[in-house]
Chain A
Amino acid sequence: MTNTPQISSTSARDDLRTEPRFIRGLVIAMAVIFLTVFVVLPLVVVFAQAFSKGVGAYFAALSDPEALSAIRLTLMVAVISVGLNLVFGLVAAWAIAKFDFRGKTFLISLIDLPFSVSPVISGLVFVLLFGAQGFWGPWLQSHDVHVLFAVPGIALATIFVTFPFVARALIPLMQEQGTQEEEAAISLGASGLQTFFRVTLPNIKWGVLYGVLLCNARAMGEFGAVSVVSGHIRGETNTMPLLVEILYNEYQFVSSFAIASLLAMLALITLVAKTILERHLDEGPSPSGD
């Protein structure tokens, strides 16, 4: 007798806490179906198409000189843009998070600009600046410097598009950490560089890796901005995403999807690395092994 009201009260509390079983099932099923159709299926299709003519055809497609050149160019552009954006991003985040100055808000909006501008427009800006009819075009031509339709142009467009990633990952982190540890280091006699390398950088290393990872993924995958400035010179200025499109338009599905599969693998690796890094960021920089 005494048990009955207790049981009914706990089940009533359960009802308040969670939705009925069939609604839970429905919502979970919807999420799973959505992810399958829009994420898992396309990934499977990419790999299925890439291997549709066998493993031999897959590796033949990847070792094609045009494909190798695209891979090399993509890696080079990624190294350049990630490297430079690492430096820019660190400097910008350091300035914004640790110092007060006029125009700080303006600088923050400038950093966000590449996110709000369509990549095609970003590419066009560089055409307008460096193109034959562009602002610096005639001067560049007379000095025989090739920016557009060459590696520098592609690198510039990629740097522009991927600029916010490192800075954006670091600004909130550095703001949250404040300036007290730096002040402590300076009052203990550390120089500016010692303070940066011994105190600031170790505290933000996971944030830096996180920013670099996202920056790299975007740099390798960028299509729009690069497409405008590249000129699509085969074997010279095609990056992997550009080559995927060209091969696809030429009905070379195996080659196209083989290269696409490389980009898909990059995405998967990025995803795993991102999950690991996020765990470190949540934990904070101090190891808690005792």
Chain B
Amino acid sequence: MSARVAFLMRHSPYGTVYPAEGFRAMMGTGVFEMDIVVVFVDDGVYAALKSQKPEELDMKPLGDGFPALAEVGVKEFYVHGESLAERGLSAGDLTVDAAVVDSARLAEVLAGCSAVLPF
């Protein structure tokens, strides 16, 4: 059985290295034989926000990277609805087409994975 791995994006895009490393890890492991599931939760929903402009931080816009994951076969995205609502956002504000899920459904998605990598 091939691995089914969830990448849990929990942090806003630029304050720490975690979301950028999570993205690199998806890109780097997505080319191998495994199913990858990407989940945006808590401040992690900001990581996939459209129109990020971090140039003044001399950094690259992380949100723009997620659509490119399709090139390595990563196409399954989930976003925690409550996390979006708490921040006044909707799924349409994200750079990828993510299924909006509640906490119960999110727990099911994670339970169905062989590993969960928190970034």
Please indicate whether A and B come from the same complex rather than being unrelated chains. no
Give residues in A with beta carbon < 8 Å to B: none
